[in-house]
Structure 1
Amino acid sequence: MADLPPLREVIARHGLSASKALGQNFLFDEQLLDRIAAIPGDLAGRKVLEVGPGPGGLTRALLRAGAEVTAIEMDSRCLPALAELGEAFPGKLKVIQGDALKLDHAEIMGGEPFAVLSNLPYNVGTALFVRWLGGENWPPLWTSLTLMFQQEVAQRIAATPDNSAYGRLAVLAQWRSEAKMAMKVHRSAFTPPPKVMSAIVHVEPRDMPDGVSARVLERLTEAAFGQRRKMLRQSLKGVPGAVEALEQVGIDPQRRAETLSVGDFVALARVLSA
């Protein structure tokens, strides 16, 4: 086990401060970080992708847990601190400077299965999450997603129908995955403290329903929740065949999107995918 200096000392020595433009908030509590790293189970010998490690707080916890970490960091200021961490865990940490939204994660991870654990920068978190959930190829190479979000976003991911938080994110997260809120994190745990509370979401893929196109489901949810105040007969008019498909699967076109279950959306997408 590497004997590492306290995170606050590392940050002070490298003159680091959280960048608001990059959506950064640093976590210093080592026990909390170890708890986050433990959410997906035993990481010993497993490949892990981390986006936005910053000075390496969560990265430390992942390496302590025995993971082989590939970290994508856009902020060049953080690279020296991460390099020191790599020296403390020889051969266990690979750091790539770049924009995670523009990189091919499967290629970076060598085409092998990997877990994703990240205290995601707030400004790219949702976009990355939707990307990981998308695509026709299923199951994905990632074996689980353990991600820090603003609590409001986390609630939207784990929401159920007839809940104000229920929407497109919930359907995309739950139609072929198990998604749950694993842990709440108080704003005071961060430096600087964000204005909102945070939460950890844990997602594991499961079997994809037969005969359903991911692209069709994405289009359906985008239309339905893009005008969530309207009845489905209005909000789905722009999706060819969708209003007729409502009748086929026995859904009243006067209902609104937030009243449909994930299974209802899957049934609609199956008809439109045929």
Structure 2
Amino acid sequence: MSLPPLREVIARHGLKASKALGQNFLLDEQLLDRIAAIPGDLTGQAVLEIGPGPGGLTRALLRAGARVTAIEMDRRCLPALAELGQAFPGRLRVIEGDALALDHDEVMGEPYAVVANLPYNVGTALLVRWLSGERWPPKWTSLTLMFQLEVAQRIVAPAGADAYGRLAVLAQWRSHAKMALKVHRSAFTPPPKVMSAVIHITPAAMPEGVSARTLERVTEAAFGQRRKMLRQSVKGLPGALDALDALGIDPTRRAETLSVEEFVAVARALS
């Protein structure tokens, strides 16, 4: 199926990336195909895409055989997406709306992969939402997401690394997170000021006897006062100091030195 070049689509519809919506358009078709390949074979699979813009990644997903539901709040992009829908009959559903305000499981109604070049201003909030909550495994089968490189590093950081914090624990305590691809700023129009990276996350088994909310409260307290000793940062959390004592975790350590497993153990003791 031959489609007009993305630059031509953007020019014809008068689409300029909106700073307010955190948009940066990705136009390199080979790179887009590589991103669409990261989750594995998508033939016939349901895929949720957030912020498709003019549809660069959307066309790569459709070429890969996916059935795509795209949520877009910028109505300027809807005519370009409608043309794409005509090129792939019955395979693209576009919902005009705010991805943060929608229940994705309800929208999809079946297991789905998420693949998105996320708008920078909502990326982290959406990720935290997909990774949170007591219900596990989630309805999504994998998350393949573009972030600013600095955010991507915070998601995959090991304990002790400068970038290690709440986001790393949240992404790693019951899922596998890896850096799949680094993307140079020159690949985007307009080029952002920073490098980007694609992260791939798949759900893993949830540790027994741990409440997600408790783990979130522990990491919130521990990392809320970075660089402080644990005895200082978690003292406001009832039972936390006793839990450290029972587990033999030195209360003079700092949050960034605790492994994901140690955070899980503290949350288990408090659950």
- The reply to whether TM is greater than 0.5 is yes
The answer to whether the aligner puts 1:186 opposite 2:191 as a matched pair is no
Who is 1:126 aligned against? 124
Who is 1:259 aligned against? 257
3-state SS in 2 of match to 1:207: coil
Aligned-partner Cα distance in 2 for 1:52–1:60: 13
Shift in Å, 1:10:
0.3
Who is 1:64 aligned against? 63
Who is 1:20 aligned against? 19
Say which of 266, 269, 272 aligns to 2:267: 269
Please list the CA deviations of residues 189-216 of structure 1 after superposition, one character each: whole Å capped at 9, or x if unmatched.
Answer: 0000000000000000010000000000
Shift in Å, 1:64:
0.2
Shift in Å, 1:257:
0.2
Unaligned runs of 5+ in 1: none
Please list the CA deviations of residues 125-156 of structure 1 after superposition, one character each: whole Å capped at 9, or x if unmatched.
Answer: 00000000001010000000000000000000
**Could you state the TM-score of these two structures normalised by the residue count of structure 2?**
0.99
Q: What letter matches 1:96 in structure 2?
A: I
Please list the CA deviations of residues 219-273 of structure 1 after superposition, one character each: whole Å capped at 9, or x if unmatched.
Answer: 1111111111110011111211111111111100000000000000000000101
Who is 1:222 aligned against? 220
3-state SS in 2 of match to 1:218: helix
* Identity over aligned pairs, percent: 80
- Residue pairs, 1:71-86, within 5 angstroms: 71-86=70-85
Aligned length: 271
Once the two structures are overlaid, the 10-residue window that deviates more, 233-242 or 130-139, is: 233-242
Once the two structures are overlaid, the 10-residue window that deviates more, 244-253 or 124-133, is: 244-253
3-state SS in 2 of match to 1:77: helix
Aligned-partner Cα distance in 1 for 2:238–2:22: 39
RMSD, aligned α-carbons:
0.5
Shift in Å, 1:123:
0.1
Aligned-partner Cα distance in 1 for 2:56–2:237: 45
**Could you state the TM-score of these two structures normalised by the residue count of structure 1?**
0.98
Q: What letter matches 2:97 in structure 1?
A: G
Please list the CA deviations of residues 101-137 of structure 1 after superposition, one character each: whole Å capped at 9, or x if unmatched.
Answer: 1100000001x11000000000000000000000101
Aligned-partner Cα distance in 2 for 1:97–1:237: 46
Please list the CA deviations of residues 49-76 of structure 1 after superposition, one character each: whole Å capped at 9, or x if unmatched.
Answer: 0000000000000000000000000100
Aligned-partner Cα distance in 1 for 2:17–2:171: 30
- Residue pairs, 1:1-274, within 5 angstroms: 2-110=1-109, 112-273=110-271
Aligned-partner Cα distance in 2 for 1:174–1:95: 31
Shift in Å, 1:33:
0.1
3-state SS in 1 of match to 2:178: strand
Shift in Å, 1:9:
0.2
Aligned-partner Cα distance in 2 for 1:139–1:249: 28
Unaligned runs of 5+ in 2: none
Q: What letter matches 1:205 in structure 2?
A: P
Runs of 4+ in 1 over 3 A off after TM superposition: none
3-state SS in 1 of match to 2:201: strand
